[in-house]
Amino acid sequence: MEGALSAARIETYLEHAKKGDPAATATDDLDLYLWNLQVSAAFQGPLHLLEVSLRNAAHKQLTRCFGHDWIDAPNFIHACILAQYPPPQIGQKNHRMGPDLLKQIHRTRNRIARAVDAKNKTAAKAGKPRIAKMTPSVNDIVAGLDFGFWTSMLDRSFDQLLWRTALHHAFPRYAELSGKPVARIPIAQRLNKIRDLRNRVMQHEPLFKRNLQSDFDMISEAIAWMYADVELWADHHSRWPIIQLTQAKRPETF
């Protein structure tokens, strides 16, 4: 186990276990490691549904605002360039550039095209018909863009250009659930916190120092801002309550 997981990685878990019990052994650190695996698995479903919900909610509003081919719409491209290279303001000391959305779209388009080319080459070697050459559709590219792309759209650089014109409509239940008017900053802060959690889960990092119930509630509420039925479905099928019941003493006993 140590060879597969690395001694340094296991040591992190053993050190945490020994804080609660100086007599903790290698069995305890592997128990804690197993608990972490189970928690990570339980969070992947809600995180997946949040990411897909955000993607499609934003896609719907951007389509409404800029048209079906919004990623190539001149008004959208102009908004991206203007946000990335905003004109300096009078008295401004630091000129801050915005996120480069067009670069991310370009990379995704090229990655999809390379994947098609690779399949064509494989088919040709096997004597099978080639896949028709295709230009990636908007739906293909939307599906290929990562969580960071959609959260970066909530950057202050896009407040006037994307948020006020389109993206604030992607959160129709925010005001009802929060008791406050829909606002870019708190939504962006929430989604960026979730993105950090997502990265920890996907990179197999320790989660035992977090308030996991708060994390779970944070994800559920963010989904509910967009789609009430999805939030209820995600909660119903989540394995997080099961992990809480079956591992009720992990890692609190350490």
Q: What integer is the mean pLDDT of 76-96?
A: 79
| pLDDT at residue 202 tops 60 | yes
pLDDT of 146? 95
Q: Are 55 and 146 in contact (CB under 8 A)?
A: no
For residue 118, is pLDDT > 70? yes
Reported as a pLDDT band with limits 50, 70 and 90, residue 123 is confident
Q: What is the pLDDT of residue 253?
A: 46
User: Is residue 89 over pLDDT 70?
Assistant: no
Rg (CA), the chain: 22
- Give the type of residue at 179: G
Residue 80: HSE in the Cβ half-sphere, 13 Å Cα cutoff = 21
Q: Summarize the confidence of residues 63-77 as an average pLDDT.
A: 96
The fraction of the chain above a pLDDT of 90, given in percent, is: 58
Q: Is the pLDDT of residue 20 over 90?
A: no
Domain locations in the chain?
A: 2-85+96-246
pTM: 0.86
pLDDT tens for each residue of 168-197: 999 999 999 999 999 999 999 999 999 999
Distances in Å between the alpha carbon of 224 and those of 53, 114, 132, 173, 219? 10, 36, 40, 7, 9
CB 230 within 8 A of CB 49: yes
pLDDT at 254: 41
What is the DSSP-derived secondary structure letter of residue 94? S
Q: Is the model's pLDDT at 155 over the cut of 90? A: yes
Structure tokens, 57 = 């909610």
Q: Quick one: pLDDT band at residue 91, thresholds 50, 70, 90?
A: low
Kindly write down the DSSP assignment for every residue of 150-218, as one continuous string. HHHTTSGGGIIIIITTTGGGG-TTHHHHHSS---HHHHHHHHHHHHHHHHHHHTT---TTS-HHHHHHH
